[in-house]
Amino acid sequence: MNKKKQKPVYYYINLVIQFFVETFVAMALGYFIGKYLDEQLFESEATLIYVFIILGIFAGLSNLIKRVLKTIKEGEEDEKDQSD
């Protein structure tokens, strides 16, 4: 019996929801930190707001990539265990 152990659909839905929530939170934090720093350092420019929002997006993408790679690695380990 060579039956693969697959993750349930809700696991992947949860992965996508976590990505959006984490990215949104990181972007919101980036916005407020950037706004505060712009008010302290610059009078009328909004450069740091954009910088920190982009950093928030990259943080969310980084977390998503790490989770997907971990899921793939766990799947490969499960396949090795089943073949033994």
Q: Residue 14: inside a domain, yes or no?
A: no
* Residue 13 within any structural domain of the chain: no
- Asked whether residue 58 is domain-assigned, the answer is yes
Evaluate whether residue 16 is within a structural domain.
no
- Specify if 76 maps to a domain: yes
How far is residue 10 from each of residues 13, 14, 15, 63, 74, measured CA to CA in Å? 5, 6, 8, 19, 17
Higher pLDDT, 82 or 24: 24
Q: Which amino acid is at 6?
A: Q
Half-sphere exposure of 70 (CA within 13 A, CB side): 8
With respect to residue 3, please indicate whether it lies within any of the assigned structural domains: no
- Confirm whether 15 is domain-assigned: no
pTM: 0.75
Please state the domain count of the chain: 1
pLDDT in tens, 27-81: 999 999 999 999 998 888 888 999 999 999 999 999 999 998 988 888 777 667 6
11 located within any domain: no
Residues spanned by the domain of 55: 23-83
